[in-house]
C-alpha cells in the first residue's frame, strides 16, 4: 500500500499541475484554507486534479490565501478499476453518504437509475460531484469517479455494454457464498456494473428483465435486510475482495 501524508490538507483544483505552475484559488477554497484550517502564505498543502497525480503546493497571498505555487509531485496519477456503481437514488443525506462510500470503495462511475419503487425522481448532479470531490480529498484518492445523469432502469439496461458483468444485488437471489460466486463470474477485464435497487426492492417485472440480461450475476448480500446505503458498502466490498483489491493480486 502506498504511503500517504494524512496530516497535510488535500485540495482538488480544476487546473493543470506541473512544477512552477500557479493556481488561483476559488473563494470557498481560500476561505477553507485561511479561516477553517488557519493556513497562511508559506504553508504547504497537497493538490490533485484527477489527471496529473498529486502535488505539493505552497500557499501565497497577503491577507488571505489566494494562489498556490506547484512545487513537486508526491504521487503519480493512478487509474480506478472499471467498476460502475448503479443505484436507485435516495433522499438527501443518505444519498450523500452513499456517494461518498462508493467513492471510498473505488467506484469509477456513479449511475443513478429510476425504478418503480425509487424514492426520489430528481437528482442533484452537482451535489453528487461535490461529494465525490470531498471523499477524494479526505481519503487520498487521485482519480475522480464520473457522475452520470439519472436514467430509467429500462433505458440503462438497453444501452449498457453486454460484455460487462452485471451484478444485481437482490434479496431474493439464492447465493450460498457470494464471494465465491463473484470469483467465478468475474469480468476478466471487461468491466463490472454493480446494481443496487431501491429499499422497496425491484418490482417483479423489473426482476424478470434483470435475470434475462446477458452476463448477469444475481447476488444476495446475506441473511440480513440492508438499507440501500449499507448495501452499497457491502456489495462494493465483496466485489473489490473478489477482484483482489485488498491483496497483491489486483489486475
Asked if residue 4 is part of any domain, the answer here is no
Predicted structure pTM score: 0.90
> Does position 2 have pLDDT exceeding 70, yes or no?
no
Confidence tier at 189 by pLDDT (50, 70, 90): low
pLDDT at 187 over 50: yes
Domain-ending residue, one of 45, 75, 105: 75
Do 49 and 172 reside in the same domain of the chain? no
Does the structure show a pLDDT above 50 at 1? no
Instruction: With cut-offs at 50, 70 and 90, classify the pLDDT of residue 126.
Output: very high
Where would I find the beta strands (DSSP E) of 81-233?
A: 83-87, 109-114, 146-147, 151-152, 165-169, 192-196, 216-219
Q: How many domains does the chain contain in total?
A: 2
User: Taking phi first (over 0 means left), then psi (-120 to 50 degrees means alpha), and beta for anything else, what does residue 222 get?
Assistant: left
Average pLDDT (165-169) is: 92
Alpha-carbon Rg for the chain in angstroms = 20
Q: Dig out the grid coordinates for 181 from the structure.
A: 460466486
Least confident of 30-34, 49-53, 167-171, 180-184: 180-184
| CATH number for 16 | 2.40.240.20
Q: pLDDT exceeding 90 applies to what percent of the chain?
A: 68
In a domain, 188, yes or no: yes
Residues 27-81: tens digit of each pLDDT? 999 999 999 999 999 999 999 999 999 999 999 988 889 999 999 999 999 999 9
The three cell numbers of residue 60 are 501565497
Same domain, 197 and 140: yes
CB 143 within 8 A of CB 77: yes
Amino acid at each position: 500500500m502506498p504511503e500517504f501524508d494524512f496530516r497535510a490538507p488535500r485540495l482538488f483544483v480544476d487546473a493543470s499541475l506541473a512544477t512552477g505552475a500557479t493556481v488561483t484559488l476559488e473563494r470557498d477554497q481560500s476561505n477553507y484554507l485561511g479561516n477553517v484550517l488557519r493556513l497562511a502564505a508559506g504553508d504547504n498543502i497537497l493538490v490533485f486534479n484527477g489527471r496529473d497525480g498529486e502535488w505539493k503546493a505552497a500557499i501565497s497571498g497577503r491577507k488571505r490565501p489566494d494562489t498556490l505555487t506547484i512545487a513537486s509531485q508526491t504521487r503519480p496519477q493512478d487509474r480506478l478499476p472499471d467498476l460502475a456503481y448503479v443505484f436507485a437514488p435516495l433522499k438527501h443525506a443518505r444519498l450523500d453518504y452513499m456517494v461518498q462510500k462508493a467513492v471510498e470503495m473505488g467506484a469509477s462511475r456513479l449511475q443513478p437509475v429510476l425504478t418503480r419503487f425509487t424514492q426520489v425522481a430528481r437528482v442533484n448532479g452537482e451535489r453528487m460531484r461535490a461529494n465525490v470531490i470531498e471523499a477524494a480529498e479526505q481519503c487520498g484518492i487521485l482519480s475522480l469517479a464520473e457522475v452520470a445523469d439519472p436514467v430509467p432502469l429500462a433505458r440503462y439496461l438497453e444501452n449498457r455494454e453486454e460484455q460487462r458483468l452485471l451484478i444485481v444485488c437482490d434479496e431474493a437471489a439464492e447465493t450460498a457464498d457470494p464471494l465465491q460466486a463473484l470469483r467465478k463470474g468475474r469480468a476478466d477485464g471487461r468491466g463490472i456494473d454493480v446494481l443496487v435497487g431501491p429499499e422497496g426492492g425491484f418490482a417483479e417485472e423489473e426482476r424478470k428483465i434483470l435475470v434475462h440480461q446477458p452476463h448477469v450475476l444475481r447476488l444476495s448480500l446475506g441473511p440480513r435486510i440492508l438499507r440501500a446505503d449499507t448495501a452499497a458498502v457491502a456489495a462494493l466490498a465483496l466485489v473489490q475482495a473478489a477482484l483482489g483489491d485488498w491483496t497483491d493480486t489486483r489486475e
